[in-house]
């Protein structure tokens, strides 16, 4: 048996716990019990692995140990209620919840879990919080950080959501096809939010790997629902964005604009896969917001240099996007594309009509347009407004630097 230390045990647990948790929730139908049982298994691993060495199949070991821990907990609770008979019938047969055999088509429990977490009976906030907690293995404290609320507040929100799942019997399953038009959008929105939360993480080992987690979730959804073009579109969008993520930051952690990125560092394999998916889903003739954003991203990926970007095509895609998703943020992005085609004055006229005063990119976009029009004082003021609203330190520094050169 190979040796393993405390840190190694923790790492293996992080890789496996999401799947084990989802499986236990399916078997026992109780999120709290499943969470407690996975914690029990982690404690047991910390006790035994460093002493006895790593078991040959750690994933299977964790599943079995956690399942036994859950049964123990149920037995203890049942003894208190003198209902042992019922529980014996409830306990799964040994081997029932082991890791899936190779090649066996097993519906992913995590997929069921994400539909439970994103059930429309839960608030949008609770949907994201539960997904981060249960599917992305984030602690309550980390979820609270992502939402900028106190840990106690987040703990309460999670408890409330879990109580509702249990009391109201929110089902643990992938909805039927006729329900998907209602049930899918919140799931896609959550995966997209998880990805964006990942973009705001510090680069390197300090991050939680949320971007990769979101891509994994999107891939899982796309595998299960190959006929849903928006699912494919979301996966394409995430892959194309992910292909550029390492080039988004300089060696000092500062932000690098798309136009200034070193395109040789873009991940060609991800780009090819993303572009392939974009073509495939757009052929379906039902372009939704994710497909169109992915198409924009694919056009950027096509350009060998920033100057060779096909801006007229991007502007046309944004016209389309604004028609299916008429939000001020889409209008802002469309204005940027218009600016590249028709010049900054045309774009500024569009931007000035928008009501996005609290949105950092709005001021950053205005600032860039004003700078290009030679209105340097106004540009500097707009950069300052943008910097004050920046969500991360890297972005704030970036905007301040640009503001200084505009003066």
Partner 1 sequence: MTRYMLSVHSTAGEGRAPMSEEEMRQSHQRLGALEREMESAGAWVFSGRLHDPDTATVVRVSGGEVLTTDGPFAESKEHLGGFYVVEAEDLDAALAWAAKVTAAIRVPIEVRPFAGFADKPQPAPGS
Strand partners, 249: 255
Residues 261/265/267/272 CA torsion (nearest 10 deg): 70
**Of these, 171, 202, 226, 328, which contacts partner 1 (CB under 8 A)?**
171
Binding segment for partner 1 (CB under 8 A), chosen from 13-21, 164-172, 309-317, 354-362, is 164-172
Name which of 185 and 361 has its Cβ closer to partner 1. 185
Please work out the total of residues on this chain that contact partner 1, with binding judged by CB under 8 A: 9
**Of these, 169, 264, 357, 358, which contacts partner 1 (CB under 8 A)?**
169
Smallest separation (angstroms) from partner 1 to the CB of 172: 9
Alpha-carbon gap, residue 31 to 295, rounded angstroms: 38
Smallest separation (angstroms) from partner 1 to the CB of 89: 12
Q: How many residues does the chain have?
A: 407
Smallest separation (angstroms) from partner 1 to the CB of 90: 11
Residue 349 engages partner 1 in binding (rule: CB under 8 A): no
DSSP string for residues in 216-248: HHHHHHHHH-TT-HHHHHHHHHHHHHHHHGGGG
Could you say which DSSP state residue 174 is in?
A: P
Smallest separation (angstroms) from partner 1 to the CB of 191: 21
**Of these, 106, 141, 152, 168, which contacts partner 1 (CB under 8 A)?**
168
Please choose, from the candidates 392, 338, 400, the residue with its C-alpha nearest in 3D space to the C-alpha of residue 367. Answer: 400
Smallest separation (angstroms) from partner 1 to the CB of 171: 4
**Of these, 44, 155, 170, 389, which contacts partner 1 (CB under 8 A)?**
170
Smallest separation (angstroms) from partner 1 to the CB of 37: 20
Q: What are phi and psi of 133, to 5 degrees?
A: -70, -45
Alpha-carbon gap, residue 50 to 346, rounded angstroms: 66
Name which of 26 and 119 has its Cβ closer to partner 1. 119
Rg over CA atoms, the chain: 24
Chain positions 66 to 125 lying near partner 1, rule: CB under 8 A, are: 119, 121
Name which of 29 and 361 has its Cβ closer to partner 1. 29
Smallest separation (angstroms) from partner 1 to the CB of 182: 10
Name which of 174 and 215 has its Cβ closer to partner 1. 174
Residue 150 engages partner 1 in binding (rule: CB under 8 A): no
Print burial letters for 286-325: b (CB count within 10 Å at least 16), e (below 16).
Answer: ebbbbbbbbbbbbbbbebeeeeebebebbbbbbebbeeee
Name which of 139 and 179 has its Cβ closer to partner 1. 179
CB of 192 within 8 A of CB of 214?
yes
Binding segment for partner 1 (CB under 8 A), chosen from 106-114, 153-161, 165-173, 377-385, is 165-173
H or E stretch covering 340 = helix 328-342
**Of these, 8, 175, 185, 207, which contacts partner 1 (CB under 8 A)?**
175
Contacts of 256 (CB under 8 A, 6+ apart): 247, 248, 249, 250
Name which of 174 and 386 has its Cβ closer to partner 1. 174
Name which of 86 and 352 has its Cβ closer to partner 1. 86
Q: Helices 229-244 and 289-302 sit at what angle, rounded to 10 degrees?
A: 40
Smallest separation (angstroms) from partner 1 to the CB of 169: 4
Could you say which DSSP state residue 263 is in?
A: G
Smallest separation (angstroms) from partner 1 to the CB of 175: 7
Binding site for partner 1 (CB under 8 A): 119, 121, 167-171, 175, 179
């Amino acid at each position: 048996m190979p040796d393993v230390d405390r840190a190694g045990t923790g790492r293996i647990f992080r890789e496996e716990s999401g799947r084990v948790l989802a499986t236990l929730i399916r078997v026992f139908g109780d999120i709290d019990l499943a969470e407690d049982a996975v914690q029990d298994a982690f404690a047991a691993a910390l006790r035994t692995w460093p002493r006895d060495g790593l078991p040959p199949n750690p994933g299977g070991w964790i599943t079995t140990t956690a399942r036994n821990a859950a049964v123990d907990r149920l037995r203890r609770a049942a003894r208190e209620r003198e209902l042992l008979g019922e529980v014996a019938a409830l306990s799964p047969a040994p081997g029932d919840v082991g890791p899936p055999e190779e090649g066996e088509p097993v519906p992913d429990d995590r997929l069921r879990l994400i539909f439970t977490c994103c059930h429309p009976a839960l608030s949008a906030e609770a949907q994201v919080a539960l997904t981060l907690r249960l599917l992305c293995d984030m602690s309550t404290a980390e979820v609270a950080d992502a939402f900028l609320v106190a840990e106690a507040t987040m703990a309460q929100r999670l408890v409330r959501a879990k109580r509702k799942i249990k009391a109201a019997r929110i089902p643990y399953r992938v909805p039927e096809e006729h329900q998907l038009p209602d049930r899918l959008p919140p799931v896609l929105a959550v995966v997209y939010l998880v990805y964006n939360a990942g973009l705001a993480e510090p680069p390197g080992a300090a991050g939680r790997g949320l971007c990769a987690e979101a891509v994994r979730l999107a891939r899982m959804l796309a595998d299960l629902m190959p006929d849903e073009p928006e699912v494919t579109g979301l996966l394409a969008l995430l892959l194309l964005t992910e292909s550029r993520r390492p080039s988004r930051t300089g060696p000092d952690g500062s932000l690098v604009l798309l136009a200034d990125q070193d395109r040789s560092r873009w991940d060609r394999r991800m780009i090819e896969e993303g572009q392939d998916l974009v073509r495939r889903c757009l052929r379906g003739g039902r372009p939704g917001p994710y497909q169109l954003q992915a198409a924009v991203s694919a056009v950027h990926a096509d350009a060998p240099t920033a100057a060779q970007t096909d801006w007229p095509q991007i502007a046309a895609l944004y016209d389309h996007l604004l028609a299916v998703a008429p939000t001020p943020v889409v209008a802002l992005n469309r204005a940027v594309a218009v600016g590249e085609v028709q010049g900054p004055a045309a774009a500024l006229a569009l931007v000035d009509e928008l009501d996005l005063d609290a949105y950092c990119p709005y001021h950053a976009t205005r600032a860039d347009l004003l700078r290009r029009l030679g209105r340097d004082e106004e540009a500097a003021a707009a950069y300052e407004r943008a910097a004050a609203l920046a969500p991360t330190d890297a972005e704030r520094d970036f905007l301040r630097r640009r503001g200084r050169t505009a003066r």
